[in-house]
Amino acid sequence: MVKEIVKDEEILSQPCQKATIDDMPIVQDLIDTAQSMEDVAALAANQIGETKCIAIYLDDQDEFKTIFNPKLVKALYPAKMVEECFSVDGETKVTRFECATIAYEEPVDGKLVSRKREFHGRESQILQHVIDHCKGKVI
Ligand SMILES: [Zn+2]
């Protein structure tokens, strides 16, 4: 279902709860909402009002990927970047890492599977943005 994008700081600043496989309906809402908008690189669950550690992002193959409970494990090469967020007006300067190792869970056949991967460039930046959302931090 397409949801409205949350701009309410009180919701966005709450640290999100650990997500489980029972939260899968949120994923569909995130995808529906992202597909109803233009130029969406990523969307976190709390941006549609669900304070769970879930996000979707557009990978380098232009496909939406789902991540549950992402955590930054290792980060290298900090760089100043300019970012936008659908929940915030205007652009913000942030420091992101060009290279990030992220641990997360991915839904596979009705179960959450743990993964750990190194991301670079655009994907790395997007995922750090999303991890901040999960922590209740907005750029
Ligand atoms: Zn954002």
Q: For the chain, what is the domain count?
A: 1
Domain assignment present for residue 4? The answer is no
pLDDT tens readout for residues 54-99: 999 999 999 999 999 999 999 999 999 999 999 999 999 999 999 9
Coil, strand, or helix at residue 24?
A: helix
Residue-range definition of the domain harbouring residue 70: 9-134
How far is the centre of ligand 1, averaged over its atoms, from the C-alpha of 129 (Å)?
6
Domain assignment present for residue 139? The answer is no
How far is the centre of ligand 1, averaged over its atoms, from the C-alpha of 133 (Å)?
6
How far is the centre of ligand 1, averaged over its atoms, from the C-alpha of 54 (Å)?
13
How far is the centre of ligand 1, averaged over its atoms, from the C-alpha of 47 (Å)?
8
Which domain CATH number covers 18?
Answer: 3.90.45.10
- Say how far apart CA 68 and CA 72 lie, in whole Å: 13
Domain assignment present for residue 129? The answer is yes
Within 10 angstroms of residue 46's Cβ, the number of other Cβ atoms is 25
Give residue 139's pLDDT: 83
Q: Whole-model pTM?
A: 0.94
